[in-house]
Amino acid sequence: MDREPVNRSDQSSRTGDAGRSDSTNRSSPEFNRRDFLRGSGAAMAATAMAVAATEQQAAAQQQAAKVVSAAPHPVKLNVNGVDLTLTVEPRVLLIDALRNDLNLTGCKDVCDRTNCGACTVLIDGKPVYACSRLVMDVEGQKIVTSESLLSPTKTDDVVTNFCKHDGMQCGFCTPGFVMAVRGYCNQNPKATVDDCRKGLGGNICRCGTYAGVLQAAFDTAQTATPIAKGGA
Amino acid sequence: MKSFEYARPETEAEAVEFLGTNAGQTVVLAGGTDLVSLMKAELVTPSRVVDLKRIPSLREVTRIDGGVQIGSLATLSDLAQHPLLGGYRSLFDVIDGVRAIQIQGSGTIGGDLCHLPNCWYFRGGYGLLAMDKGVSLPEVGDNRYHAILGNSGPAKFVNASRFAPALIAWGAKVRVISKVDGQKSLSHNSQSSTPNLHEEWLPLEYFYISPKTNAQGNTVLKPGQLISHVWLPDAGNMTSATYEVLQTEGLDWPLASAGVCVDVEGGLVRQARIVMGHVAPTPWLANDAARLLIGQSLNDDTAGMVADAAVSQATPLSMNDYKVQLARTAVKRALLKSVGKLEM
């Protein structure tokens, strides 16, 4: 679904879903989903700075507290290298904060029960299902989403390899898969195709593009720089 | 998801303090790979969640008292890489069977031991016993994944823990901690105890129960208690293996499994322990079957004979007699695997 620009009617419902999107993006006649995703990193950073400025003090006070009430609380996060503060209730899940509060809609809410892998993000370098993590739980940890793989100056190998080997059809599982591949290859450079097949068992593609995904994972592993010793 | 307070203790004493003792009011959060789903489905509706991840002592793996002590918050990938655990092959077999790096990186050994059943009636909101208007749903409905042993009581679900068979075969104990309730502390392990902490070491095989009522739960844990550590005896001459029968190549729950430990000397078995998983409401100890191996050499024939004995008392429900064969196969293959004789 990422291949074609989104039409106007779809666009309004999308931005409506996503909540606080950047107003300049929304009013632009050329706005489409792809540009939106490219721009969202910068937009997020801007939003984050504003939020951070007003809530920094409150966050400092909360840090000492070991029991927080069910009401919204400021939580310090680091998303794609940007420090920011979100005010959320303890029950808010990481996936919802990323998608609804930060407009990082790469991670997908598909099975909602830690089975399919479409919500995979990296937390401190490890692939994690964002649908099973509370925002409170990841305070202070480094969260990396699929949006980080593409910047105006650099395209991550994993993206190039997915394109090269046609590792997707409908694309819904793809953001989760690329993050799982990124995390797996960082931990297991030089992995074989069989290793990759085993390592990526936590992601499901209902279109059945596993052959392309595995080849992309294999290629990515060959050029991966290890960030942690050993592997899962 | 219902709203809740969130507590982040930094010591074991704080954890039991925050946990309180009101049944159903507080839950312990470890990896969250299952609890969060249960809370989303509102099958678990705590007013407070106590997140244990910031307690360093709960994540350590240390050598202690003639064995190895594993913090209950150690993740599967922590365990897979730990040098002290090299002699416990059956644990690696379990980790290897969890085919998702996401679960391996988040899921914890304590969380696995306390994992609530995957019974679809339980997950659909009918309680552990899956009763609807006085009728046992697994008895009259689809019971293809339910118990084939120990199912004569009201509980028909299967225990969901993947580590329990292997750990019980090793003779593992669990350390259960709770708040001191004003009486004298029974603490005797000064190394990790504090004055506010009551601790008790319990053989893991006594940890699980087959409940008669929904309120009993499927473990002996009472409100206010949690598992802080798992202790394993030194591996010594024992070798071990786990064999899980999995339906798919990806992330899935076993249909049947077996964890075994054997001590073979001069080609003859001196000791053997066999525990089956996912066949009964509790991990199922096949002691009588294991005894048949003593003094025998472990080969295809004797493993098959012992596996037959292990499932000889099975009482499958209307749709799950296929699991008897799977459990038999799991036992046989685990035994052969433990001595390096399994050819796949």
Domain boundaries along the sequence of chain B: 5-338
Question: Is A53 within the bounds of a domain?
Answer: yes
Distances (CA, A) of B321 to A32, A132, B160: 55, 34, 19
Q: Which two structure tokens, joined as six digits, stand for B59?
A: 């994540």
Question: Is A69 within the bounds of a domain?
Answer: yes
Cβ–Cβ pairs < 8 A, chains A and B: 117
> Given this model, what pLDDT does residue B21 score?
85
* Between A35 and A87, residue with greater pLDDT: A87
Q: With pLDDT > 90 as the criterion, what percentage of chain B qualifies?
A: 92
> Given this model, what pLDDT does residue A16 score?
36
Whether residues A29 and A84 share a domain: the answer is yes
Closest CA to B117 of B152, B151, B145, B153: B145
> Given this model, what pLDDT does residue A130 score?
97
Side-chain half-sphere exposure of B197, counting CA atoms within 13 A: 22
* Other beta carbons less than 10 A from residue A79's beta carbon: 25
Taking residues B167-192, report their average pLDDT.
Answer: 73
Rounded Cα–Cα distance for residues A21 and B162 (Å):
44
> Given this model, what pLDDT does residue A41 score?
57
Question: Is residue A8 over pLDDT 90?
Answer: no
Whether residues A186 and A81 share a domain: the answer is no
> Given this model, what pLDDT does residue A88 score?
97
Chain B positions in Cβ-Cβ contact with residue A197 (cut-off 8 Å): 249
CATH number of the domain enclosing A168: 1.10.150.120
CB contact under 8 A, B39 and A91: yes
> Given this model, what pLDDT does residue A65 score?
73
Taking residues A217-232, report their average pLDDT.
Answer: 73
Q: Which two structure tokens, joined as six digits, stand for A29?
A: 């006649």
Question: Is A50 within the bounds of a domain?
Answer: yes
Crossing angle (nearest 10°) for helices A174-187 and A157-164: 120
Residues of the domain holding A197: 157-223
Chain A positions in Cβ-Cβ contact with residue B40 (cut-off 8 Å): 112-113
Whether residues A132 and A115 share a domain: the answer is yes
Q: H helices within chain B, ranges in order?
A: 12-19, 35-40, 76-80, 89-97, 101-106, 109-113, 120-121, 137-140, 164-169, 287-291, 300-310, 322-338
DSSP codes joined into one string, B261-316: EEEEETTEEEEEEEEEESSSSS-EE-HHHHHTTTTS--SHHHHHHHHHHHTTT---
Closest CA to B218 of B290, B296, B131, B155: B155
Three-state DSSP state, B180: coil
Give the end-to-end CA distance of chain B in Å, rounded to a whole number: 45
> Given this model, what pLDDT does residue A62 score?
44
In tens, the pLDDT along B287-302 reads 999 999 999 999 999 9
Residue A202 has its nearest CB partner, among B3, B37, B103, at: B103
Q: Into which CATH architecture does domain B5-338 fall?
A: 2-Layer Sandwich (3.30)
* Between B207 and A64, residue with greater pLDDT: B207
Whether residues A133 and A175 share a domain: the answer is no
Q: Which 8-state DSSP code applies to residue A3?
A: S
CB contact under 8 A, A67 and B48: yes
Q: Which two structure tokens, joined as six digits, stand for B54?
A: 């910031």
| Residue A188 near residue A231, CB atoms below 8 Å | yes
Chain A positions in Cβ-Cβ contact with residue B77 (cut-off 8 Å): 126, 232
CB contact under 8 A, B3 and A70: yes
Q: Give burial (CB, 10 Å; 0-12/13-18/19+) of B188.
A: exposed
Residue ranges of chain A whose CB lies within 8 Å of a chain B CB: 66-70, 89-91, 93, 112-115, 117, 120, 126-129, 131-134, 136-137, 180, 183-184, 187, 197-204, 230, 232
Taking residues B261-284, report their average pLDDT.
Answer: 97
| Residue B311 near residue B150, CB atoms below 8 Å | no
| Residue B130 near residue B119, CB atoms below 8 Å | yes
Whether residues A30 and A115 share a domain: the answer is yes
Rounded Cα–Cα distance for residues A84 and A55 (Å):
10
Whether residues A20 and A65 share a domain: the answer is yes
Residue B100 has its nearest CB partner, among A113, A136, A201, at: A201
> Given this model, what pLDDT does residue A56 score?
53
- Last residue within a domain, chosen from A127, A149, A171: A149
Q: Which 8-state DSSP code applies to residue A82?
A: E
Question: Is residue A97 over pLDDT 80?
Answer: yes
Question: Is A230 within the bounds of a domain?
Answer: no
In tens, the pLDDT along B306-327 reads 999 999 999 999 999 999 999 9
In tens, the pLDDT along A127-157 reads 999 999 999 999 999 999 999 999 999 999 9
Chain A positions in Cβ-Cβ contact with residue B53 (cut-off 8 Å): 137
Rounded Cα–Cα distance for residues A189 and A193 (Å):
12
Three-state DSSP state, B196: coil
Question: Is residue B114 over pLDDT 80?
Answer: yes
Q: What is the pTM of this model?
A: 0.86
CATH number of the domain enclosing A145: 3.10.20.30
Crossing angle (nearest 10°) for helices A174-187 and A210-223: 40
> Given this model, what pLDDT does residue B299 score?
96
Question: Is A188 within the bounds of a domain?
Answer: yes
> Given this model, what pLDDT does residue A11 score?
37
Buried/exposed code over B139-151 (b: 16+ C-beta within 10 A; e: otherwise): eebebebbbbbbb
CB contact under 8 A, B18 and A66: yes
In tens, the pLDDT along B50-108 reads 999 999 999 999 999 899 999 999 999 999 999 999 999 999 999 999 999 999 999 99
Three-state DSSP state, B228: strand
Q: What are phi and psi for residue A75, nearest 5 degrees?
A: -130, 130
| Residue A95 near residue A105, CB atoms below 8 Å | no
In tens, the pLDDT along A26-64 reads 444 445 555 555 555 555 555 555 555 555 555 444 444
> Given this model, what pLDDT does residue B65 score?
81
In tens, the pLDDT along A103-125 reads 999 999 999 889 999 999 999 99
Rounded Cα–Cα distance for residues B52 and B27 (Å):
10
